[in-house]
Structure 1
Amino acid sequence: LFGEPRIFGDDATGYGPIFEEEPLDIVYTKESPDRLISMNCRARANPAPTYRWRRDNWEIKLMELPNEHYSLVGGNLIINNPEEKKHAGTYVCVAKNVYGTVISKEAKVKFGYLEEFPDEERDPVTVKEGQGAVLLCAPPKRWPTEVTFRWIYNEFPVFLHPDKRRFVSQSTGNLYISKVEASDAGNYSCYVFNPQIGKGVYSKFIPLISTEESEYKADLVVKFPDTTAMLNYNVTLECFALGNPAPHIVWRKIGATDLPASAQVSMSGALLHLYNVQYEDSAGYECEAINQKWQDWHQAWLYVEVCNTNYIAAPRPRFTWTKGKEVLFNNSRISIMFDGSLEILNATRNDEGVYTCLAENDRGKANSTGTLTITEATQITVAPEDTQVMVGEEVHLQCQASFDPSLDITFIWSLDFRVIDFYLEWKHYERIMVGGIDSGELKIMNVQLRHEGRYTCTAQTVVDNVTASADLKIKGLPAPPGGVRVEEIRDTSVKLVWNRGADHGSPILGYTIQTRDFYALTEVDWRDASTSPTALDRMSVMADVVDLYPWMEYEFRVYATNEFGDGEASIPSMKIKTWDAVPVVAPTNVGGYGGKDGELIITWTPVQPQYFYGKKFGYVVAFKPHDDVDWWYETISDPETRRYVHRDASFRVKSNDFQFWFKLIDTCSDQSRLSDQVKYWRKYDDTEPGANRIFVPASMNQTRLENMLPDSHYLIEVRAYNGAGVGPPSEHCEMFTKRAPPSVAPQMWRYISYSGKWLYVWWHHISYDWFGNESFPLYYKVMFRKTGYITGPIYMTGWHFIDFPMPQVGDYELEVRGRYEGGDGPIRKIRLQGKPTLSLAAMLLLALCIVGLGI
């Protein structure tokens, strides 16, 4: 009649409700297969509490009035066939017993949706080739607002993949094309996908029409705003520019020389990812777009904030665990850990229930209660199987699992413990969807050797996960050999040793050795070497490389061949230098003629450096008068010398009284023309007697005039010459030399990408003064070569920037100089250091370790 009595004081055993579980915000979608909403509420109390629910501060009459939508299961509110107008709102749970009433925190029920695009046709976009274009997505209304944007090109499901020219903003959905090309013409549709409700919609097609090409300056159209990020969270900044030529984006941290170590640039420079941000990452960031016509930049700030809470008890408390009213003690299945946590081994349905942890010290008590629910274990029912395929084929790996129906399941695929990113690796990996649900099957298209390895399927729920693995073997080109090293060095040969690589399912037919010497023009200038034995079969692990140049620096590499072709080459060996030897190649084109009174001039074509065969290389020049028996000898120490002049005032060189040992003199008569004298001087600044003179062999009708001053007016005359003297002069030829190049090299900067794979170099244009003393600039010459090398590849460009793949091994030098009407300008040089190479001892030790492990 009067209800259950309440007892207070020391004899009281009852207490008021204490929440163990409170309702959470829920997003419901019409596409949900369950067609219900469950809002959880559970409280601990003695006696047991009763529950009521309120929506928007109005109590839901669950007991008094039957309702086709609402029902109460324990303390949980179940909403069947929810309707947005009736059931969206703010809910609270009220738990009550004789000792008191508690009200839960508010939980909102919202209905997720993604509306369709309007049916109106989209207007075409007309743009000139070379200009930039922006295609507006204008996405429909949606909730939640977190969606992904992609663009369809001409037909579904052909999606456009962003690159250096094309960028899709994940903020607005707009498609930006920095430089329109003829191939871009077509029809585009904006595709919006909401992953939380599993729905996607696409717009009407937008025609893109391109016309004749034009150039224009870089213009930043996507700019990141001031951004606030939580400590240890990730943040992404967007920046994209239009322009022709297509601009490239450079990122900087204001006040620092480098970006943070965690930074990574992607999408051809359009995105800057900062992972696990720290306080020191809080700063201004700048993106700069550069092309030949202009530079544009944008700055904004990143702020890093923190929110953290710690709980401390001192002195250390004692922990007691109970299940319901049963006190738990350590046994073979249950352990109370040092930190107070409870561990239960081999849990079963009997372990379900309400668990309470009581922490107590001499300062007081505290407790926490939670409910343990046991679900069905997730199990792999169809596991992937070991598979072997050919390069270029397609393969399917199966993975199916049984799981508790109250839980959601996700399948995660990884290759050698690296999770596969299906968005970035769309060309090769694809999930197989059945009815819009992930079936767990993995499809690998156009299989390559890099896809070989152990594939692991992880079936994961919020409670547990289980994995199954399979090995994928690829039959294709053989893997590169390893441990290539030189064991013996001789003058014209070396002994080379290597370790066999994987055959990738097809027996190796043989090996090929390649060499690269000091004078190789490029990094890829490798040449097949002569070996002994000539044919290297599949069992070969060593060979003599023969027909090498003495005293030459070499590198060696080896590649294997099977039925599919030549495999990838090995890592080059350490550089070695062959022993020196006696030179065997003589100078060519030896000739000579008489000069002024008492002069004998002997000329030749120098020996190429690869034929020096040792240090201190030089020449011995021998000559004698025609009737003499003894030869005169002169030693020339400079290997690049092209002529020797012998002076002896006691005689005059006549064509018939001086014996040369080259054929040119033997065939001349008394009065034949030996050479031509070319004389040149400045018309108004020099005197003719002080003119420059050069002698040109009679067999030639052209020559190069050197040491001429820039921006000057010259007179030139030519006279025939023989042993009797010079003949009459020709008519004077007048010419004007160009202005001199600038004396200052262009100022240069560089930037290395975070991944270390790209080097970005740019420099200032050198302005031209029409009324100055410097010649007109034509283009720029860029040389990229190894440190210590004489030559390297030369690139010519009219732009003031250039990108290179960053060298991974060795030291390099990059030189930039201007080319002007008056010749080459001064050089600006920077040095680059790649990863250090292993020493020969380290390579030998690594090889011994590999052999010892039986790899």
Structure 2
Amino acid sequence: GNLPQPPTITKQSVKDYIVDPRDNIFIECEAKGNPVPIFSWTRNGKFFNVAKDPKVSMRRRSGTLVIDFHSGGRPEDYEGEYQCFARNDYGTALSSKIHLQEPVAPGRSPLWPKEKVDVIEVDEGAPLSLQCNPPPGLPSPVIFWMSSSMEPIHQDKRVSQGQNGDLYFSNVMLQDAQTDYSCNARFHFTHTIQQKNPYTLKVKTSKCHCDASGWVFPGITETTPSFMYPYGTSSSQMVLRGVDLLLECIASGVPAPDIMWYKKGGELPAGKTKLENFNKALRISNVSEEDSGEYFCLASNKMGSIRHTISVRVKAAPYWLDEPQNLILAPGEDGRLVCRANGNPKPAIQWLVNGEPIEGSPPNPSREVAGDTIVFRDTQIGSSAVYQCNASNEHGYLLANAFVSVLDVPPRILAPRNQLIRVIQNNRTRLDCPFFGSPIPTLRWFKNGQGNTLDGGNYKAHENGSLEMNMARKEDQGIYTCVATNILGKAEAQVRLEVKDPTRIVRGPEDQVVKRGSMPRLHCRVKHDPTLKLTVTWLKDDAPLYMGNRMKKEDDGLTIYGVAERDQGDYTCVASTELDKDLAKAYLTVLERPDRPRDLELTDLAERSVRLTWIPGDDNNSPITDYIVQFEEDRFQPGMWHNHSRYPGSVNSAILSLSPYVNYQFRVIAVNDVGSSLPSVPSERYQTNGARPEINPTGVQGAGTQKNNMEITWTPLNATQAYGPNLRYIVRWRRRDPRGSWYNETVKAPRHVVWNTPIYVPYEIKVQAENDFGRAPEPDTFIGYSGEDYPKAAPTDVRIRVLNSTAIALTWTRVHLDTIQGQLKEYRVSTTPKSHRFPGDRNRGIVSRLFPYSNYKLEMVVTNGRGDGPRSEVKEFPTPEGVPSSPRYLRIRQPNLETINLEWDHPEHPNGVLTGYNLRYQAFNGTKTGRTLVENFSPNQTKFTLQRTDPISRYRFFLRARTQVGDGEAIVEESPALLNEAYTKNHVDIATQGWFIGLMCAIALLVLILLIVCFIKRSRGGKYPVRDNKDEHLNPEDKNVEDGSFDYSDEDNKPLPNSQTSLDGTIKQQESDDSLVDYGEGGEGQFNEDGSFIGQYTVKKDKEETEGNESSEATSPVNAIYSLA
């Protein structure tokens, strides 16, 4: 707000500022205060006039200096010590002194002298140090040694670089002279490298050793260790607190010594020591006073050991123990500023006020300086100031600003009014109420504007105004009020607390092992506070998951379509609201077909075997179970691969058996539970030598394709069975007679035809393989037959015995075998439209699945492999009546709640003369059923009306047709469900309504007029026979009647409105069952006394009678004679 405040430094540059010469200089100084502070600078203790130098500017509303070199100028002109002052009406604050330095760049500092370094001669085994002495720089340059060919010098425990940049050889060896040595310095800001003139070594050796055999070889005298750095047996080192201490011991000797480190009287500092440079250096990081003491290094080889002691003293620049803090006092209040620092040596404390030594400031009776403390008593308005405390010793200084502001201010709440804090249940929470006032107000908290002050138990009030709750519960929700009070007044603010349910994943993803291409689903079902917005995200391997086409995120999970190997990994479901989050993780393992085997190699090459070795591919998380070895040969089937052998997945080498005269090439396929790998890259080829065949063809057969030949066929040898070039087959045959002569023919194709053979005689057949190396062993003999001819005789004495309405028993006299002229296959019985087969040589059988109440014609033939023989004498027989099939349909209509109308059609297959119908029905309601009732009807009745006794129940109907043999198959239907009972009770029958009766009368009159018009048109159109109501038979001599056709005028051939004409010209039924005409073959119309059509009509051919007990033409045995097709 508008409260007065002395200046406070908020940002400043580091004390040691090394300038980057490639960029502008920015010396930072930022401060706050009220009024806004004004900035000024001193350089080297004197006022620095920024306005006089055009290259220097100060940022607006800031004290930061910008020195611009883009238009020229040298950074070294601005080196010095800078200090920033920030002033306003209530005091002056100071920055630390900022030491601005330019790095000693190669352009300004002397280079290595262009000296000519003589060749350095050194004895083999002697120690050597090559000095670097790099040019100075800020910061110090990085030193490294290289050869003149820019190869790094190899370093080890014998040859290494010291901290001073020199290169030390514990002992020189002959190979050290094979290169030269150059020291290089890389400077930080300029990124330039300077190279010193290289050293060249000449290693002298004069000693040699001769062994008993006379061989001469050089030798080196072994020596005890000696220190090259530091010299002597002891040294000392001083280090400042807080920096890294580096102790170093480099020793010479043959062989190169090992270095070990110890601390006198104790262990090396734990957790902060590190050995470097092949144990030659000991680094102790962040040194403290406890690290003082004596350290020693022990250098040893097999010739002896020495040690060097380093006394370490830790000094300290000043560091804060108690830094002074800003002080706000009310008029008349007391206070103090405390400035305590430590260091080695102990720092001196100096106080300043507004940048001037406190001793030279005007006297202030309310202020008393007592060493590191200033005490204020009974302060008054107007005594505000900024005090500086400077703690310094020979190693550095600390400067701190702290203002004393004397104010008279009533309480103020600094937080926004009516805050809303939302917290997750059972979490720790804090309600903030920052306040200000002078004197310092007291702050109290209340809940819902009443009750005692909240402090204690689940609540803890802090001095800064915060109210902390260890565990937020649902009952802690409400409005909290903080009240700040001092002698000048009070202020208050309200904070509303809402406690939310935590977000929890109640079913997270589980580890899964899935096959490639499958569709895994990762669950993530979340429960959260409904008033918070939930966001569910998925991570894969801790990175956001890309949702492509294959990833589908749903409310309770993630589905991966066509999972691939790249989908394997950790999946994390993250459910988050603005207040909290929960996560669950699972690992998805994808099983894939194995990678192909590789690097096939053939070894152990032999005449009939070879060893094949391969390197398995990755099993892709599913162990390899098998290896399939395949081969290809380039003579018989080039490019065609064949399976050779199969081996367990645990092997990667196998001895393969080979066949002669095959140019092999192998490949390997790996198999796991997911599938087979791609084939490996084929091996090199391997050619085996030829040999005579060892096996003959299999599957030798002889059979005629015509009546005067015999075709001999066999399964030819494959590429691995041929064993040599020019594979051929020697075919031998003779009639099955030991005295017969053998005939032979040599062929290459796997077949040979013998002509001019007698009809169906047996032959002995042999097929032998042969190649240019010789013949296979003597082959086996097979029996074949020459071609067959048609049988010459028919079965005789065929006798029929009727078993029932659908089956007969047959007997006949067999055909003599001499007339078969081949191999007898079967006797076949033909009864239109079916035939019945009786395999083998037999003289009896049963013919079933005949139609009842029909006349049949029957004849027989005998067959062989060539075909049918002559037909037997035709026999005729009738089948007796049977039970009828079910009625074609049973339709149920419920015009009202009291009646049910049934309507049905005759059976499609009456199988005799219909004698009537049997109807059984029962009421049911749910699982309850009533008793079964029975009705019998005459054969011409096709309607029945049932008076309901229960308007709620449904009915189940079983309707059967009947002949004198018995009842046929039932058709079963159920009445549809009615409306519920409550509606039924209140139902009004529409048929009793006056408006409905009038509408129906009008429709009936219109239909009657249309019928009259239709009949007049028919009487004009053409001639057709009309049957009266007694259903007289049509004249069978009338051709038009026989084929079911009638003559009409062209106009009558047009379909009626809203009808559909079928392909045969009939008019199909529409939804209404009361269409005027249905045309059918042999169908008959029926008229009521009023002349209207009744009944249901179909386009099927009716075979049953339609009135009385007389049968129709279709069911008469006279018209049911089936003749042989």
TM-score bracket for this pair, using the shorter chain length: 0.3 to 0.5
Q: Which has the higher contact order (CA 8 A, sep 6+)?
A: 1
